[in-house]
Amino acid sequence: MTSSSSARPSRRPTRGRGAAQGRPKSGAGRQKSAPVARPQEFTMPEPIAPALPPVESFGDMDMPEALLKTLAAQGVTEPFPIQAATLPNSLAGRDLLGRGRTGSGKTLAFGLALLARTAGRRAQPKAPLALVLVPTRELAQQVTDALAPYATAVNLRIATVVGGMSINRQSGALRRGAEVLVATPGRLKDLIDRGDADLSQVSITVLDEADQM
């Protein structure tokens, strides 16, 4: 809402001491606008350590046997290129940045490593051990659906917290305990503010479609 000052009768400025003389100099009183930043193409950061060599099969990786059996049961027989390139590094606990198109296998590329490294641990109420942050409710559900059979195979629980759904139910899922939390930023902040989510035990974090957040 804008406010306006009360109108006063107009007067000509009085010449003399304290009165402005003549017109202001060109440009006086004008604010210079800051240059507009132009969007730039994303540049991949320089790696700080040589990447581990890609693998040819899931069996070449250090993953729980239950995950390997579930991959076979799901008809996933060999890794996609992004999985072959990133899994050796993420399984070793390295930070990495990957890019790939829809359908390229990104979800399992980060999901298998996350589940393999979390397997055998148990979360306390409200305190997940791994976090997948996504920009939209739809993507959160896709990630949850894709990882569910593999999480079940290694006895890990997934909680999904997104806007537009009952926050009380989501709070209940966290109170019961979930090793893996898939969340959108806004709803996660709401749960943290309520004291229903504690990220102090999170040791693995994934930003899925980070360029959209």
What does the buried/exposed string (b/e) look like for 11-35 if buried means 16 or more CB atoms within 10 Å of the residue's CB?
A: eeeeeeeeeeeeeeeeeeeeeeeee
Q: What pLDDT was estimated at residue 184?
A: 98
Q: What is the mean pLDDT, run by run of 10 residues, along the chain of 213 residues?
A: 40 44 48 56 72 91 96 95 95 90 90 98 98 98 98 98 97 98 98 98 95 80
CATH topology (fold) of 58-212 = Rossmann fold (3.40.50)
Q: What pLDDT was estimated at residue 64?
A: 97
The structural domains of the chain, with segments of one domain joined by +, span: 58-212
Q: What pLDDT was estimated at residue 46?
A: 76
Q: What pLDDT was estimated at residue 38?
A: 56
Q: What pLDDT was estimated at residue 143?
A: 98
Q: What pLDDT was estimated at residue 36?
A: 57
Q: What pLDDT was estimated at residue 146?
A: 97
Kindly report the pTM of this predicted structure.
0.77
Closest alpha carbon to 132 in 107, 153, 168: 107
Q: How far apart are CA 67 and CA 205, in angstroms?
A: 20
Q: What pLDDT was estimated at residue 41?
A: 63
Q: What pLDDT was estimated at residue 63?
A: 95
Q: What pLDDT was estimated at residue 71?
A: 97
Q: What pLDDT was estimated at residue 20?
A: 42
Q: What pLDDT was estimated at residue 152?
A: 98
List CB contacts of 184: < 8 A, sequence separation 6 or more: 133, 134, 135, 136, 137, 140, 161, 162, 163
